[in-house]
């Protein structure tokens, strides 16, 4: 029987070609090669310090792994399906290079704890990259907010004009969402950064290993304390994908707004041509393909979360082959997230704001009605009574096809004798913005304070 398999001595017949293709993972897990080598080198050094490997074996392993990594980076290594996965491909290549020292490398470990370690090392690095990209997108939004701190736009509830808000204030809402996404990634990274290596197949090992040494060499903050849990845990992958899904939902919400705002029915913004496409039959079309795809890709990431949850829901301890199915959705989630964040920051820096259209939209929906009600309350009328008074004024303005600010003073006084000439100061969109000058409010002064706050945070 072929000796390609490290476990082939137990079997009487070779694995069928169909089973090889079905169970092999080398097509996708080869991307873990760099981290597999990193983990192997730390494991070898620990074994040497523990007296299990000789210093000569360690030197040979280091030299061999350096050569293999160079081959991988140059695209010269041939990945074999017969060797199933990235771990066995690298181990076989190492053995071909350095002989018995390569065979000794796997002492005191299993592919079960090896793959769990590789994924954590890989995901830890990806999270760091994602955090940088989140902050880059936040910076783009903060820049847009600063430029448009005093630009008036309609704020919506139920997608109906509600109250005037600053466009800058609106952009900063997404900066806050992304700030929470950053925090979730940082928190998730703490649980990713726990080392399973040393758990071996499921019960630990009889060799005198020192897991603390390996953890320090690999930069793990903690060590998985139970060998059964260490090899079978995929909580960290599920948690990351959940955080990624929520981040994509935030970007999907912003995408929906960009799509609406770019429509001629809104005309609030324009997106640079390089992020849009045209139509094959309608020459006038300019389609916001990037934000539309972000909406679609949000569903893709959420689907991966559902898949990982279902993958784990019925697994008994410890490791099961089912867990091979964790990598492709996790890899795709990371790829999707990184690509989306990168292109989104560039796209937001290519957004052109149309203040005149936004202001015109504010004037179409009686957006300062609440300001008029607040004005009457300050004059001494209970809010519920002022609410009724303003509702009558809105009805009158609607019937005459004008805004509240267009109603003559005597008409407004017909609804309440407390109305005076200063009422027009609160009926303008700009007056409405400026009146909300408190922490978290939409006043341009507050927007600029938040811009300064975020610039300082992002600079740290």
Residues recognised as catalytic: 158, 279
Name the 3-class secondary structure at 192: helix
Beta bridge partners of 161: 156
Q: What is the b/e burial string over 246-273, where b = at least 16 CB atoms within 10 angstroms of the residue's CB?
A: bbbbbbbbbbebbbbbbeeebebbbbee
* Nearest of 327, 309, 339, 324 to residue 247 by alpha carbon: 339
Closest CA to 251 of 342, 153, 155, 331: 342
Longest dimension (CA), the chain: 101
* CB-based contact 197:212 (threshold 8 Å): no
Cβ burial of 395 (10 Å; 0-12, 13-18, 19+) is exposed
Q: What is the rounded distance in angstroms from the CA atom of residue 458 to the CA atom of residue 230?
A: 35
Encoded tokens for 184: 């979730």
Q: Quick check: 365 and 277 in contact, CB under 8 A?
A: no
Q: Is 271 helix (H, G, I), strand (E, B) or coil?
A: strand
* Contact partners, residue 43, CB within 8 Å, separation at least 6: 105, 108, 109, 197, 214
Contact 392, 404 (CB under 8 A): no
Give yes or no for a contact between 362 and 429, defined as CB atoms under 8 angstroms apart.
Answer: yes
Tokens standing for residue 281 = 């039959």
Which residue, 312, 334, 338, 310, is CA-closest to 119?
Answer: 334
Chain-centroid distance, C-alpha 205: 38
d(CA 128, CA 133): 9
């Amino acid at each position: 029987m072929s000796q390609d398999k490290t476990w082939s001595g137990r079997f009487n017949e070779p694995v069928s070609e169909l089973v090889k293709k079905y169970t092999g993972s080398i097509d996708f897990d080869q991307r873990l090669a760099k981290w597999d080598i990193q983990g192997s080198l730390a494991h070898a050094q620990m074994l040497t310090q523990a007296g299990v490997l000789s210093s000569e074996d360690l030197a040979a392993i280091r030299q061999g792994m350096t050569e293999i990594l160079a081959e991988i980076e140059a695209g010269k290594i041939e990945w074999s399906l017969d060797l199933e996965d990235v771990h066995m491909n690298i181990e076989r290549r190492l053995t071909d290079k350095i002989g018995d020292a390569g065979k000794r490398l796997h002492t005191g470990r299993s592919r079960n704890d090896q793959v769990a370690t590789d994924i954590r090392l890989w995901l830890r690095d990806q999270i760091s990259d994602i955090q940088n990209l989140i902050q880059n997108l936040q910076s783009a939004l903060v820049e847009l907010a600063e430029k448009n701190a005093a630009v008036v736009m309609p704020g919506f509830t139920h997608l109906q004009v509600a109250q005037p808000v600053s466009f800058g204030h609106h952009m900063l809402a997404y900066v806050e969402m992304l700030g929470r996404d950053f925090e979730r990634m940082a928190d998730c990274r703490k649980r990713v950064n726990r080392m399973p290596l040393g758990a071996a197949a499921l019960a630990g090992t009889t060799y005198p290993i020192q897991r603390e040494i390996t953890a320090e060499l690999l930069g793990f903050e903690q060590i998985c304390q139970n060998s059964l849990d260490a090899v079978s845990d995929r909580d960290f992958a599920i948690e990351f994908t959940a955080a990624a899904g929520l981040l994509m939902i935030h970007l999907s919400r912003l995408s929906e707004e960009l799509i609406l705002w770019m429509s001629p029915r809104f005309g609030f913004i324009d997106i640079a041509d390089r992020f849009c496409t045209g139509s094959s039959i309608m020459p006038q079309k300019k389609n916001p393909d990037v934000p539309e795809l972000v909406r679609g890709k949000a569903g893709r990431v959420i689907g991966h979360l559902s898949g990982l949850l279902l993958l784990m829901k019925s697994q008994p301890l410890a490791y099961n082959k089912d867990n091979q199915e964790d990598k492709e959705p996790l890899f795709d989630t990371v790829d999707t997230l990184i690509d989306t964040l990168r292109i989104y920051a560039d796209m937001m820096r290519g957004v052109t704001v149309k203040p005149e259209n936004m202001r015109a939209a504010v004037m179409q929906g009686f957006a300062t009605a609440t300001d008029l009600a607040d004005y009457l309350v300050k004059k001494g009328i209970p809010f519920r009574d002022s609410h009724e008074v303003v509702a009558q004024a809105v009805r009158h303005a609607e019937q005459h096809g004008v805004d509240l600010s267009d109603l003559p003073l005597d008409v407004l006084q017909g609804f309440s004798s407390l109305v005076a000439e200063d009422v027009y100061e609160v009926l303008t969109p700009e007056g409405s913005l400026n009146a909300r000058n408190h922490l978290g409010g939409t006043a341009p002064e507050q927007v600029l304070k938040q811009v300064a706050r975020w610039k300082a945070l992002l600079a740290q």
